[in-house]
Structure 1
Amino acid sequence: NLLGNAVKFTEKGEISATVSTSGPPRGSHELEEIMFAVKDTGIGISKEHMGRLFLSFSQADPSTTRKYGGTGLGLVISKNLAERMGGRIWAESEPGKGSVFYFTIKARASPGLLPASPEDMLPEPLAEFDGQGKPDLRILLAEDNAVNQMVALRMLERLGYRADTAVNGQEVLEALQNRSYDIVLMDVQMPEMDGLEAARRIRSSKSGQPYIIAMTAHAMKGDREVCMEAGMNDYVSKPVRMEELRAAIMRSLKNRI
């Protein structure tokens, strides 16, 4: 949740996550305090809103719900989880410069655990799969949740594809005006304009008609039919599994033939 918020509210700059302890493990039977910190250079939070940041159904600024989505409930859940693990959560922030969210937990070291040496650490990220041999598909991913967006992008990379992104239906329509896409992976629930309305507008327009794959956490009877009636071509349920995503993309290729 903290990483997702950092990505969501940071349009430029950087995000970092660090983990530290007060010292080397004292033994497998003793509890150690572990501190996590998520730092961003995002929009920041004013002092007047910091006091209610971890209250139920509260968000620092009501306007952020309209622009970014969400209710702030994730921070309440994060607070409860940290406290259940013997820790606490707090934040430091400055409007326009960014925020740092900290939380601690108590845990025991695994038996035989040894500190990592510099030689054990990767000096640089592993090279990404370049997708050679894959069809040249232009994909647009519409997903407002930052973590879900990152997961979907990683899945697509592992399948050999790249994708542009949008965080609401209005951005989808704007993207389609500027570029032709073969596939739109469309989250159904998004702020400002949801996926269903975006699909209806795409189908009623005279512009290019992409293959639209609905992505939804709803698993209620009739949800698939609602998506199809809105003009979508396919449907995958959340959390999206790679095999389901691969199968949906393959079905889109058959549709092109």
Structure 2
Amino acid sequence: IVDVTDRRMAEKAASEGQQRLELVIEGGRIGTWDWYPQTNAVVFNEYWAELLGYRLDEIEQSIEAWSTRVHPDDMAKCQADLQAHVEGRTQFYQNVHRMRHRDGHWVYILDRGKVVERDAEGNVYRFSGTHTDITEQKRAEIEAQEASRSKGRFLARMSHEIRTPLNGVIGVTQLLERTPLNPEQDEYVRTIRSSGEGLLKIINDILDFSRIEAGQIEFESSPFSPVRELESIVALFQERAYGKGLRLALQVGEGVPSHVSGDAHRIRQVILNLVSNAIKFTDKGEVAVRVSAEPLPDFLVLPASPSADETQGSEVARSGRSLSGTFQRVSGRQGKTVILRIEVSDTGKGIDNFDAIWRDFGQEDASISRRYGGTGLGLPISRQLVELMSGRLEVESEISVGSRFVVSIPLPSVEALEETRERRSGPSLKGLRILVAEDNPVNQLVIGRMLQRLGIEVHIAEDGLEAVSLCDSDSFDFVLMDIHMPGIDGIEATRRILAGTERPPVVIGVSADVMEENRARCEEAGIVEMVSKPLRFDELTRKLQQHLPAVRARRAA
């Protein structure tokens, strides 16, 4: 007598498992395939054929039934992914490719598989997998991408149309501020400029939000002095703080490197927002900015950028503490990297609703927006910028006591830069010859007057063709090239100037269009730097000084 109970139970379990698998395949309308590479025979199921509009008896049971229907542009990637799995470099084979349907249109297929059997020599004997039709999903993705591109084009156009007149408003006020004014006139000019700057901040916030959404934010890495950057921020806000009766102070802790390497512009943007908010929401007492640094331990490294899901909301503890961004532990960290900590604390009203301050376009309540204004994008953008720089942003707050924001970013320290008087103030630009290619008369006036104040000889071209013609017949040190002009645009004009001039000038682009994709096109054309409208006198001066060595080298040649 033989007890076959266990065997019968195993057979029953296997049968039930097979039935469940068949139900999944049937319910999900999943095509299956079994490929035998040594003979190139393939066994397809009925649904595999139906995905392409055929009956199973109309499909040849060979690898050619698949390979002849794959889109030619997708085949190389399919083969590479198959080879990677066969060689053991991936646990599963997975690929998305297009296959031609019987009626001629293309079907997007999610192809998944695995080597399930090898022969005695280790060669693949059997390779099994599935095909799933994801055409609708891909169409939705393509439509979403096109919608995103359309939004980007709209934002770029909006930016250009608003920034162009803003360049005139803010530019002229900068020029007026450098003329003799009585106190009443000075107040009017500062009010105009403040209003223009407020509108510009809203535009910049929306554009930054769009860039972050699209994954188009780029970061630079160059040496800068963190203390000097913070000193300039505190100096910028002193008048506003004084006007509210607040004390604004900077405290520098021990161990702060004289220079670190990172994106000073983006770090400055974050701290400017935090200090501005602190002053805005504090009616009495003080706002303090503190900077400190500590060495990054060897077992810590920078984290990968957070995924979209991870950045949807901040982790908010009910204790009144919010943390975003973390450091990860691994071994073998090399180099002198410090964690730079910048704290902005205030004695303001405090934060009651942590969830709201991290939401895009969110504020604690409607009364905040009515009283203080703003888009509600400043903190979400700041948080995401810090995280994209591998840092973290923390906030602690107590109602009626105040708030404390802490930015922690790992940055490599660099050797102190020896600074001469010329380097601090910048080399003189007097005597340079600059061609301004700009079609807007107001912008011609603003840029021309800014340059003349620096002792620069200024020439004007009203469009791209005139700029090319003037560069052919005369010699210039720089060209300030507006990107959007009638006739040929600034990018094409730059190409022609650089190709047709024996000693070409240094071309700096000037544009109200600040989308990254357009910056890339400018760089390809040979434009060495982009300056966004509205122009800042100090920024324009700094950019010219930055590229002066190239001009001197050209003159020497």
Tell me the TM-score normalised to structure 1 length: 0.46
Identify which of structures 1 and 2 has the higher relative contact order when contacts are C-alpha pairs closer than 8 Å and 6+ apart. 1
> TM-score of the superposition, structure 2-length normalised?
0.22
- The structure where helix makes up a greater share of residues is 2
* Structure with max Cα Rg: 2
